[in-house]
Amino acid sequence: VVLLAQQAASVDAVRLLAERGGDAELRASVARAPVAARDAVQRLLARTVRADAVGDRALASANRLAGVIALEHRDSFPMRQVMRFASWSPAERGAKVRVDSLRRAGNTALRAEGFAVAARWWRESERRAWALHDTAGVAAAQGNLGAGFYAEGQLDSATAWFASAARLAGTAHDHRT
């Protein structure tokens, strides 16, 4: 629980630096916490669903943060993700935010309610990601399913889900999944 709280605080700190911080501070933060930086991009993109100045600022901050991630970690996936998100309609942006929210709900359910409940959330996230043609979202949900099956000792299922997730993540050039 403490680790999760620290992770959330780190994500919020990176997000705030992307919104208001100096370049050197942001680069140092991204160098120290690359996972938190990628999560902060997702949080910023979730704010772009609003079709107003708040959404515009969030998109600019997500783009700035993605550029720093590309420089610090030689990972251009977040930049491509931001560009794709920016090209979507508000409805498509909302659908992507729901895909990610469902997957995170599965992660929370795994700890609180077990694999069976978590798997339902992850499968719904995967289904919606397929509908959105969001290969990286599908891969992330499948990776979660693989981890869940692994934790349950169902190694054949885990291997199949991990293999599919890795193939799709590679197609999307997502090196995190």
Q: Percentage of the chain surpassing pLDDT 90?
A: 80
> What's the CA gap between 102 and 132, in Å, rounded?
14
Instruction: Give the separation between CA 20 and CA 13, rounded to whole angstroms.
Output: 10
| Distance linking the first and last C-alpha atoms of the chain | 23
Q: What is the pLDDT of residues 50-105, one digit of tens each?
A: 778 888 999 999 999 999 999 999 989 999 999 999 999 889 999 999 999 999 99
CB burial class (10 A; 0-12, 13-18, 19+) of residue 132?
A: middle
| Token duo for residue 30 | 């991204």
Taking residues 156-169, what's their average pLDDT?
96
Residue 89, phi then psi, degrees to nearest 5: -70, 165
122-150 pLDDT, tens per residue? Answer: 999 999 999 999 999 999 999 999 999 99
Lowest mean pLDDT among 6-10, 44-48, 54-58: 6-10
- State the pTM of this model: 0.82
- The mean per-residue pLDDT over the stretch 144-162 comes to 97
